[in-house]
Homo-oligomer: A and B are copies of this chain.
Amino acid sequence: MAMTTEELQETAAPKGKYHHGDLRQTLIAACYDIINERGADAFSLADACRLANVSTAAPYRHFKDRDEILAEVTARGFEAMTARAVEAVEAQGEGTLEGIVAMGQAYVDFALSEGGVFRLMFGGAPALQDSEPVIELGNNCFGYLIQQITIYCMAHGMEQDAGAVAVKMWTFVHGASALLMDDKYEKVTPDLDVKAMIADAIPMLLGKPG
């Protein structure tokens, strides 16, 4: 994902060939990028077709309908998000507070850099959320988040229910991502440092302030 327009067009039509080669993957990638650049509302499947140099009917050889493509894009989103979370944790060491904080920051970074897909992953239509790959990869993603926080809590002998603490942290980080992405902080606290706020709040939610 996250290819440039030129890269997409290279991949697009293997020069003069009637068949494309891998239109399915190319379309998913094109949609992924368009949605992140212009937002899901401004997205049209026809635009993706133009990017891939195929007719607007071509997608229907690979997908049932538009929603099925969006579901695939959404699933990729969860994949990418999980990858970022894993990366963040492993860079800091599993079971450390630094790892948890880094994971929270990765969550925020993902929302900021891939806002369009992030909205699909959460606000998306029921047709998307109920699709097979989305359910599975979504559960993987959330499961990993919760699991890592839980591991940390257990390792440090928290008296509270580790799962409950994990959900609270997730809630906080998700709220921060959403509000930041939508520029809602700007109006009220223009100079807010979101990452600092998260690093600050996480210990509080652990019940061990300071």
- Chain A 171-210 near chain B by CB (<8 Å), digits 1 or 0: 1111110110011110111001000010011001101010
Contact of A209 among B146, B164, B173, B209 (CB under 8 A): B209
Q: How far is the CB of A141 from chain B (nearest CB, A)?
A: 10
Chain A interface, DSSP helix/strand/loop, else mixed: helix
Q: How many copies does the complex hold?
A: 2
Instruction: Report the Cα distance A179→B119, complex, angstroms.
Output: 12
- Asked whether B187 lies within 8 Å of A142 as measured between CB atoms, the reply is yes
Q: How far is the CA of A94 from the CA of B84 in the complex (A)?
A: 43
List 13 additional contacts besides A135-B187, A139-B188; criterion CB under 8 Å: A41-B125, A122-B182, A123-B182, A129-B182, A164-B189, A168-B204, A170-B175, A171-B197, A172-B172, A172-B175, A174-B178, A175-B175, A204-B204
Q: Which residues of A contact B (CB under 8 A)?
A: 39, 41-42, 119, 122-123, 125-126, 129, 135, 138-139, 142-143, 146, 163-164, 167-168, 170-176, 178-179, 182-185, 187-189, 192, 197, 200-201, 204-205, 207, 209
Q: Give 3 closest A-B pairs by Cβ, nearest first.
A: A175-B175, A174-B175, A171-B175
